[in-house]
Chain A
Amino acid sequence: MGKNKIIRIANAQGFWGDSILGPIRLVEEGPVDYITFDYLAEITMSIMQKQKLHRPDAGFARDFIQMLEKILPACKKKGIKIIANAGGVNLKGCLQETKKVIRELGLAGVKVGIVEGDDIMDRLDELIAGGEALDNMDSGAAISDIRGAITSANVYIGADSIVNALKEGADIVITGRASDPSLVVAPLMYEFGWTANDHDKLAAATVMGHIIECGAQCTGGNYTDWREVKDYARIGYPVCEASNDGSFVVTKHDNTGGLVTVDTVTSQLLYELGDPGCYISPDCVVDFTTINISQEGEDRVAITGVKGSKATPTYKVSISHSKGYKILGTLCVTGPDAIEKAMLLKDIVFERMAMQSVDVAEEDRFFELFGTNVLYKGMVESNQQPAEIMLRIGAKGTDPKQLDILGKELAPLVTSGPPGITGFASGRPRATEIIGYWPALISKKQIVTTHFVEEV
């Protein structure tokens, strides 16, 4: 291994639904060795579980397949490897579709690695009986409170099995609920031969994963001083240049839009951060107060000095459960007296629901007058006579059919309520299921992750 070996790692998807331009441009516009795709947010697994119930071949990030179709030929030519937690709750289905795309593209010799072991849905009773409490780690509530309503249960797994798949030559590694930073930690462990005991290096890689896991949010996206950011339309997705000592540079490809400064990167370091002294990932525990950050050049930010410690003996588990239904609709209300009229509309809706024998309890009713500082409530002075506002009205309940009546009683207000009501073009809203999120911990001894690699 050369002493100055640099590994370039990019993130092309910050979430399920991020722009397809990210991966397409990353492979075309500059050098990169690994592209990671982060698809999974808290409730994504549960949505995928639901899709799989309706269609056994669904339950993974189908976007990923479309992206592979666009970028695989270039990746193959340039030797770019892909690591994605796109498998959701149907790794086999995702593998089938991936193989299909490879064949359709006429490519050969592409190795696809699959990492399994995160899905513990079928093992829940056995695990609970075996002494895993799975209490809610935020509220302390007992798992028995929701046992019958659980819709998915996945462990945030670490880098180990991804590393093993890379060792077997995988060009593409697909996982289920691998933790976001582990998608980045794994290729660096593989390339530099780091082990689980290289705490500081794993911590540095975890910080790298944290910085790039939301895609362009570290290259000028969502940045306070947005006027400094050039060409948002062509914003560059992040590329990190990693060295064997754990230090790395955050940058983006030349001639792309966006901005990489100490401030844009620090903003992302702070995103969704808890106790900075104790950032827990499956691979290690990171101390964010040890990070050194400096501007190394134009659109180049160096990170050094990251300290970490040994991983904890537990994995985090993401459990989702069904928690009733909700409905939400909107109407635009114009002045004069927009606020007064919106309040009247709200009362009419719940009264007309009651006239159809649907009494929504006070605590299950919801309304918000967008345009009256609902987002900055109490923080900025509010306009008492806005010319136009949006009424957001909704309810929660156990019966979706009853809630749907709220959706049916919005359009009639345009003709049977006060004047100046509009904006009802998108049809009746329908009740949707509320998915509760239940974070818990589980002993690492209970979880075995495995991998296999298939050549297409």
Chain B
Amino acid sequence: MPLVKLMDIAIARSGDKGDGSNVGVKARSPEIYQYLEKNLTEEVVKNHFKDICFGQVTRYELPNLLALNFILEDSLGGGGTEALILDSQGKVHGLGLLHLEMDMPSELIEYFIGVS
């Protein structure tokens, strides 16, 4: 199966929720949403953020927006008001997740080409 970057099949935005961050991901097509719903799991995201997120990852689905919302607990070094780390508000966690590489089934590639 070809490897694709999540960035090529989705867009994202992130922000802070206390000492955690949220990463919202929107698929670029309904077919890609189906694929992400199956494959972009809490485990996959937790593993991608293993050096940043030290708590639980929770996923919520918004099929109406073709979107998934991830909550990354304990990922801001204490949070916006206390942390010394540069990105204490998780502003770049969204683009960070989009660096993820995923195996994409060949039959989905046409949708991928269709939107890129």
Please list the residues of chain A having a beta carbon within 8 angstroms of any beta carbon in chain B. 42-43, 138, 222-225, 263, 266-277, 288-293, 320, 323, 326, 328, 366, 368, 370, 374-380, 392, 394, 396, 434-437, 439
In the complex, which residues of chain B have a beta carbon less than 8 angstroms from the beta carbon of A378?
Answer: 48-52
Residue B95 at the A interface, CB < 8 A? Answer: yes
Residue of chain B at shortest CB distance from A393: B84
Interface residues of B in 76-116 (CB under 8 A from A): 79-82, 84-87, 92, 94-96, 98-100
* Minimal beta-carbon separation of A390 from chain B (angstroms): 9
In the complex, which residues of chain B have a beta carbon less than 8 angstroms from the beta carbon of A274?
Answer: 17, 22, 69, 71
Query: Is A266 a contact of B67 with CB atoms below 8 Å?
Result: yes
Query: Is B96 a contact of A375 with CB atoms below 8 Å?
Result: yes
Contact with A along B47-84 (1 / 0, CB 8 A): 01111100000001111111101010000000111101
Query: Is B13 a contact of A377 with CB atoms below 8 Å?
Result: no
Q: Which of B22, B87, B98 lies in contact with A224, CB distance below 8 A?
A: B98
Residue B30 at the A interface, CB < 8 A? Answer: no
Query: Is A376 a contact of B96 with CB atoms below 8 Å?
Result: yes
DSSP majority for the B interface? mixed
Tell me, in angstroms, the Cα distance from A272 to B71 when the chains sit together.
9
Total interface residues on B, using CB and 8 Å? 44
Residue B12 at the A interface, CB < 8 A? Answer: yes
Query: Is A293 a contact of B16 with CB atoms below 8 Å?
Result: no
- Interchain Cβ contacts under 8 Å between A and B, 21 examples: A43-B80, A138-B19, A222-B13, A224-B7, A224-B11, A224-B95, A263-B11, A270-B12, A273-B24, A274-B71, A276-B60, A289-B61, A366-B84, A368-B84, A374-B85, A376-B92, A376-B96, A378-B51, A379-B48, A392-B86, A437-B80
Interface residues of B in 1-48 (CB under 8 A from A): 7, 11-19, 22, 24-26, 48
In the complex, which residues of chain B have a beta carbon less than 8 angstroms from the beta carbon of A434?
Answer: 81-82
Query: Is A270 a contact of B67 with CB atoms below 8 Å?
Result: yes
Q: Which of B13, B25, B62, B85 lies in contact with A289, CB distance below 8 A?
A: B62
- Besides A266-B11, A291-B62, A378-B49, 13 more A-B contacts (Cβ < 8 Å) are A224-B7, A224-B13, A263-B26, A266-B65, A266-B67, A270-B25, A273-B69, A274-B69, A288-B62, A320-B81, A379-B48, A379-B52, A437-B81
Q: Which of A267, A276, A439 lies in contact with B18, CB distance below 8 A?
A: A439
Q: Which of A277, A376, A396 lies in contact with B99, CB distance below 8 A?
A: A376
In the complex, which residues of chain A have a beta carbon less than 8 angstroms from the beta carbon of B71?
Answer: 274
In the complex, which residues of chain B have a beta carbon less than 8 angstroms from the beta carbon of A374?
Answer: 85-86
In the complex, which residues of chain B have a beta carbon less than 8 angstroms from the beta carbon of A396?
Answer: 84
In the complex, which residues of chain A have a beta carbon less than 8 angstroms from the beta carbon of B65?
Answer: 266, 269-270, 288, 291, 293
Tell me, in angstroms, the Cα distance from A392 to B77 when the chains sit together.
14
Tell me, in angstroms, the Cα distance from A274 to B79 when the chains sit together.
16
Query: Is B84 a contact of A267 with CB atoms below 8 Å?
Result: no
In the complex, which residues of chain A have a beta carbon less than 8 angstroms from the beta carbon of B95?
Answer: 224
Query: Is A289 a contact of B64 with CB atoms below 8 Å?
Result: yes
Query: Is A273 a contact of B22 with CB atoms below 8 Å?
Result: yes
* Minimal beta-carbon separation of B19 from chain A (angstroms): 8
- What are the 5 closest A-B residue pairs judged by CB atoms, nearest first? A270-B24, A378-B51, A224-B11, A272-B15, A377-B51
- Known contacts being A272-B16, A276-B62, is A42 close to B11, with CB within 8 Å? no
